[in-house]
A and B are shown apart, each in its own frame.
Chain A
Amino acid sequence: DIQLTQSPSSLSASVGDRVTITCRASQTVSDYLNWYQHTPGQAPKLLIYTASTVKLGVPSRFSGTGSGTRFTLTISSLQPEDVGTYFCHQSYSVPRTFGQGTRVEI
């Protein structure tokens, strides 16, 4: 199974700060890497797919980069509504696997 390791596991930042979350894969996933935001009581929301494509409707402050085994999710200017847990997911192989999540607080 491909293991995805996120860092940090949690962070606290101020409104307007630039936030970066890293996801490392135990073996290559090419660009089959997706990012989600999960808030309590709701289903996760897809933010970025194929490593760097921002889903239509997602604010432009979200961006993703990377390929192979190292990926990053960046929020260029943190907003109050961005609070939640962010996790990565690989759709390169089965079983599909997920990072353990990064909790973002203001």
Chain B
Amino acid sequence: QVLLEASGPRLVKPSETLSLSCTVSGDSVSSSSFYWTWLRQAPGKGLEWIGFVFHTGTTNLNPSLEGRVTISIDRSNNQFSLKLNSVTAADTATYYCAREGRRGYDISGYNVWGQGSQVIVSS
């Protein structure tokens, strides 16, 4: 069974950096079959794709986040991480890590999700 577990501070001050890590068990972030993904859902809003990292370390990020976001992979700890700089109240959301299958390699779509981490941006 594949499990994703997100961890990191749940309260971040405005202008600071939001940092979350997602630990993968039952699978390897070195697998070429998946895109390791971060998403978020602000209160009362729909889901927003933040971006993903491939096993090579290559990333694809949402331009709407204006260069504030970094997603990286840590093969030694079987984790991938999210950093979001210069946060404001608008970044308050539930953050999810998820595994997206590459078409032709595995089930496409987000077949495995972390439990969701509610992060509040407030002084």
Interface residues of A (CB under 8 A from B): 32, 34, 36, 43-46, 49-50, 55, 87, 89, 91, 94-101
Contact = CB atoms under 8 A, between A and B. Distances in A.
Select the residue from B46, B109, B113 with max chain A CB neighbours within 10 A: B109
Given A43-B116, A96-B49, A99-B46, A91 B96 contact: no
Nearest to A41: B116
Contacts of B46: 87, 98-101
B47 interface: yes
A100 B108 CA distance: 20
A64 B47 CA distance: 21
Nearest to A97: B49
A89 B62 contact: no
Interface residues on B, range: 20 to 34
Contacts of A101: 46
B107 A49 contact: yes
Interface in B74-116: 96, 98, 100, 103, 107-111, 113-116
A44 B110 contact: yes
Contacts of B64: 95
Given A43-B115, A49-B108, 4 more contacts: A36-B110, A45-B113, A95-B49, A101-B46
Contact of A95 (B62, B103, B116): B62
A87 B109 contact: no
A44 B49 contact: no
A31 B33 CA distance: 19
B103 to A, nearest CB: 7
